[in-house]
Amino acid sequence: MALFSKDIQTMDDLFLHALQDIYYAEKKIESTLPKMIQKAGAGPLRDGFESHLDETHGHVERLEQAFTWLDKTPTVVSCPAIDGIIREADEIAHDISDQSVMDAALAAAAQAVEHYEITRYGTLIAWAREMDRNDLVELFEATLKEEKAADSRLTELAEARLNATA
Amino acid sequence: MALFSKDIQTMDDLFLHALQDIYYAEKKIESTLPKMIQKAGAGPLRDGFESHLDETHGHVERLEQAFTWLDKTPTVVSCPAIDGIIREADEIAHDISDQSVMDAALAAAAQAVEHYEITRYGTLIAWAREMDRNDLVELFEATLKEEKAADSRLTELAEARLNATA
């Protein structure tokens, strides 16, 4: 989250900024995942990306719900972190000729994306709890659960690769 | 990791590139943490950053060890992901006037850095296992354990904030 200190003086300001940051990130992921799906080999990696794209639409909707509950219009702030992570995921979606190497690289890029989301939703949940906003805690916990599950599926794929080569 | 596909055709290429990426990241963290220490309030957050800076020197050394074991000279590749994450951590280290809000923002930025490292070392370990390089697996597991502990300490700090405000 690109924080401009003049705008951020209270925890409420910080929270709103974090929300705008992850809203930007989820929308960027929504537009990037289709390219990763095209590059992924058939099978569980591609299936995983496809089901995570469906989940991502839901994450965007939950964030819009959070803005509404806070009486704010959904807006984004640019975020150098997710831009950098996605640029990597995107750059890798070029022409490595070996599909198996490509899949390993795509899965690693996707895990970096998941971990960024896991840390940001973890922070939002901690701050929402501090602000006594259990409605937001529950909303973000539902998303966090899906992000962690997506990360675990990617770890399982890496382990399956290992078993296949062992 | 900024991947240029022409250079990456095998898992060995991909592994070396990931190593150069995290080497760049650790060196960048080494140069950024002192600024975050200066901005952090006295107490556990500052202590945590200081002890993690010590650990980071060790992580850099372990990576240099890994290059040596692979008969490679330690080199970096630029990495838009960590650049973006660090830019956020750095930008936040400006003048939010309230120290408590500053500490919350710094801790969140640090957790984003930790999660990036956790995902990259997790990937390196999976690939090292696939390459049957148990020496590298053990080396990176030692670092991963410290990164996860640093992340847990930051989560505990957020929980302590909550208890203090409850």
pLDDT digits (tens, 9 = 90+) for B112-163: 999 999 999 999 999 999 999 999 999 999 999 999 999 999 999 888 877 7
Asked whether the beta carbons of residue A162 and residue B2 sit closer than 8 angstroms, the reply is no
The pLDDT assigned to B82 comes to 93
CB contact under 8 A, B129 and A162: yes
Q: For Cα atoms A30, A114, A31, give the angle at the middle one, nearest 5 degrees.
A: 10
Subunit contact B80:A84, Cβ cutoff 8 A = yes
Beta-carbon contacts of residue B121 (< 8 Å; ≥ 6 apart): B22, B140, B143, B144, B147
Asked whether the predicted pLDDT for residue B24 surpasses 70, the reply is: yes
Best residue in B20, B96, B134, B161 for a mutation probing chain A (most A CBs within 10 Å): B96
Closest CA to B45 of B155, B140, B164: B155
State residue A95's pLDDT score: 59
Residue B4 confidence (pLDDT) above 60: no
B146 contact partners, CB below 8 Å, separation of at least 6? B55, B58, B59
Is the CB of B119 less than 8 angstroms away from the CB of A123? no
Distance from CA of A115 to the nearest CA of B (A): 6
**Residue B131 per-residue DSSP state:** T
Query: CB distance A79–B88 less than 8 Å?
Result: yes
What distance in Å separates residue A113's CA from the closest CA in chain B?
A: 9
- Distance in angstroms (rounded) separating the CA atoms of residues B4 and B46: 38
CB B91 to CB A3 under 8 A? yes
3-class DSSP assignment, residue B96: coil
* Per-10-residue mean pLDDT, chain A, length 166: 63 92 95 92 91 97 98 92 86 75 92 95 95 97 97 89 71
Q: Determine the residue type at B163.
A: N
Looking at residue A148, its amino acid is K
pLDDT of residue A9: 85
> Do A83 and B84 count as a contact with CB atoms less than 8 A apart?
yes
- Closest chain A residue by Cα to residue B110: A119
Taking alpha carbons only, the member of B119, B113, B102, B124 closest to residue B41 is: B102
Q: ipTM score of the complex? A: 0.90
Mean pLDDT confidence for B34-61: 93
Distance, in angstroms, between B154 CA and closest chain A CA? 10
Entry pTM: 0.92
pLDDT score for B88: 80
Our CA-based measurement puts residue A1 at a distance from the nearest CA of chain B, in whole angstroms, of 6
Residue B71's Cβ-count burial label (10 Å; 0-12, 13-18, 19+) is exposed
Contact A111, A151 (CB under 8 A): yes
pLDDT at B72: 96
Helices (H), A80-98: 80-92
